[in-house]
């Protein structure tokens, strides 16, 4: 396997040149876009064009600005902050100890603890900070000015400019009555992911999979899942992620259940008509050097998807003829091979992340449609 066909050989680069290693930054943004919670909202992307997806920071900035303007028209969601003050009238609960210790009653005062409504909530601070960050990322001056003006407007409404901590955001749960905030917060979170790629180029695990392979593999898996939800669900496909499977055990010893390994699918697709495809994503080179210098698929990867398919055959007709796809990212190569094994078409394919954003999306769609095609591998174009 040459370096060009895998991810390991990608040298560090800088986002100022539009690339991190040999991967265009816009394609990493594309993966983050699909991997984010935004993939669950079809509406905001119905009017998106290919050009929009080539400038994802601009797209995210426009969507966030639209969401903030809608929330401002309806009023922002607020919260409450704890206050502790001397007052001339009772508000909330009286702190008797401090009132007595400071002899406040002789001055006509009491020390009170109370809650006060505020717009300075963690989610609103996150949105304001994201607008400030996006104003430095977008390409057009008009869009940058729009983001800055909205950030200033939030500041005038009492929203602080300091980005909240993860703990603060975790404590600020979005309730059913605040459902309109979900899209706004998802866009704000993505804005910081985009900024991280731009400002810390060369340190991201995307070009050094050995540093944090689990995290980056998860990004690629979530991106493919998000792509399928956004692009295929409107066409009648069923798209599921993280689906657990059980072994077809007829009998077992008392202790076997505790040590039997579990199975969990990355992605399970059902096309209209009943065709089923299991996708297992891997952030690694699709081929590895064999004992005699010949490149081969990883034994473990092939055995894993084979076990997924064969172990479920008796559960339904869809499983009986289900296809499997080992899907890898790549740099400079787009192999797509397949074999029919005991009634299942098993595919191994790679998506070249050095292509244009539009070509990456087309390659993902073509690879999925090819793999689920007809169950026996006929008519492949890969």
Greater confidence, 198 or 14?
Answer: 198
The pLDDT of residue 50 is: 54
Greater confidence, 54 or 131?
Answer: 131
Express as a percent the part of the chain with pLDDT over 70. 77
The pLDDT of residue 294 is: 63
Average pLDDT over residues 62-70: 89
Residue 200 has pLDDT above 60, yes or no: no
Mean pLDDT over each residue of the chain, to the nearest integer: 79
pTM of the model: 0.69
Average pLDDT over residues 226-237: 88
The pLDDT of residue 202 is: 38
Residue 121 in contact with residue 92, Cβ under 8 Å? no
Question: Which residues are CB-contacts of 7 (< 8 A; sequence separation ≥ 6)?
Answer: 207, 209, 283, 284, 285, 329, 330, 331
The pLDDT of residue 28 is: 76
Residue 185 has pLDDT above 50, yes or no: yes
pLDDT one-digit tens code per residue, 23-57: 777 777 788 878 876 655 555 555 554 555 667 78
Question: Which residues are CB-contacts of 161 (< 8 A; sequence separation ≥ 6)?
Answer: 125, 128, 129, 132, 151, 155
pLDDT band at 181 (very low <50, low <70, confident <90, very high): confident
In the structure, how many helices (H) and strands (E) does the chain have? 13, 13
CA distance 53 to 49: 7
Q: Which range among 241-245, 285-289, 342-346 shows the weakest confidence by mean pLDDT? A: 285-289
pLDDT one-digit tens code per residue, 308-343: 999 999 999 999 999 999 998 887 778 899 999 999
Q: What are phi and psi of 41, to 5 degrees?
A: -110, 110
The pLDDT of residue 337 is: 92
The pLDDT of residue 154 is: 92
The pLDDT of residue 209 is: 35
Q: Domains (ranges, CATH) in the chain?
A: 55-77+128-201 (no CATH), 79-118 (no CATH), 208-249+262-372 (3.40.1350)
The pLDDT of residue 265 is: 92
Q: Which two tokens stand for residue 329?
A: 């990212």
Alpha-carbon Rg for the chain, nearest whole angstrom, is: 26
pLDDT band at 21 (very low <50, low <70, confident <90, very high): low
CA distance 145 to 62: 12
Question: Tokens 């792509």 — which residue?
Answer: 227
The pLDDT of residue 125 is: 92
The pLDDT of residue 18 is: 60
Residue 154 in contact with residue 114, Cβ under 8 Å? no
pLDDT band at 366 (very low <50, low <70, confident <90, very high): very high
pLDDT band at 195 (very low <50, low <70, confident <90, very high): low
pLDDT one-digit tens code per residue, 93-110: 888 888 888 888 888 898
CA distance 125 to 160: 6
pLDDT band at 303 (very low <50, low <70, confident <90, very high): very high
Burial of 74 (0-12, 13-18, 19+ CB in 10 A): exposed
CA distance 197 to 51: 20
From residue 279, how far is each of 25, 37, 142, 349 by CA, in Å?
25, 20, 42, 11
In the sheet with 276-281, reading across from the earlier edge strand, the strands are 238-245, 263-270, 276-281, 323-330, 344-352, 336-341
CA distance 339 to 136: 49
pLDDT band at 291 (very low <50, low <70, confident <90, very high): low
* Residue count of the chain: 382
Beta-strand ranges (E) seen in 13-122 are 19-20, 23-24, 79-87, 93-94, 110-118
pLDDT band at 256 (very low <50, low <70, confident <90, very high): very high
């Amino acid at each position: 396997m040459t370096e060009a066909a895998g991810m390991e050989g990608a040298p560090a680069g800088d986002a100022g040149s539009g690339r991190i290693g040999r991967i265009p930054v816009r394609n990493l943004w594309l993966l983050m876009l699909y991997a984010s919670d935004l993939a669950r909202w079809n509406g905001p992307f119905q009017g998106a064009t290919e050009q929009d997806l080539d400038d994802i920071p601009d797209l995210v900035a426009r969507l966030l600005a639209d969401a903030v303007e809608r929330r401002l028209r309806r009023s922002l969601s607020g919260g409450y902050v704890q206050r502790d003050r001397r007052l001339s009238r009772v508000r909330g609960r009286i702190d008797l100890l401090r009132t007595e210790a400071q002899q406040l009653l002789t001055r006509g005062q009491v020390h009170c603890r109370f809650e006060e409504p505020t717009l300075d909530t963690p989610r609103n601070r996150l949105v304001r900070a994201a607008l400030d960050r996006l104003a430095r990322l977008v390409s057009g001056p008009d869009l940058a000015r729009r983001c800055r003006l909205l950030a200033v407007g939030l500041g005038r409404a009492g929203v602080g400019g300091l980005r909240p901590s993860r703990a603060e955001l975790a404590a600020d749960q979005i309730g059913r009555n605040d459902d309109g905030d979900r899209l706004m917060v998802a866009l704000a979170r993505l804005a910081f992911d985009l900024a991280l790629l731009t400002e810390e180029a060369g340190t991201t695990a995307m070009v050094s999979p050995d540093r944090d392979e689990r995290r980056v593999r998860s990004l690629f898996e979530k991106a493919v899942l998000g792509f399928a939800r956004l692009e295929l669900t409107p066409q009648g496909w069923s798209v599921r992620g993280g689906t657990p499977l059980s072994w077809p055990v007829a009998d077992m010893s008392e202790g076997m259940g505790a040590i039997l390994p579990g199975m969990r699918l990355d992605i399970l697709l059902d096309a209209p008509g009943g065709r089923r495809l299991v996708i297992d994503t891997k952030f690694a080179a699709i081929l590895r050097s064999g004992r005699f210098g010949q490149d081969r698929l990883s034994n473990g990867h092939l055995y894993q998807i084979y076990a997924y398919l064969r172990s479920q055959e008796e559960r339904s007709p869809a499983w009986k003829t289900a296809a499997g796809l080992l899907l890898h990212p790549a740099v400079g190569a787009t192999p797509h091979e397949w074999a029919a094994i005991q009634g299942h078409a098993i595919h191994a394919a790679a998506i070249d992340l050095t292509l244009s954003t539009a070509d990456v999306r087309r390659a993902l769609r073509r690879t999925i449609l090819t793999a689920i095609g007809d169950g026996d591998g006929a008519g492949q174009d890969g």
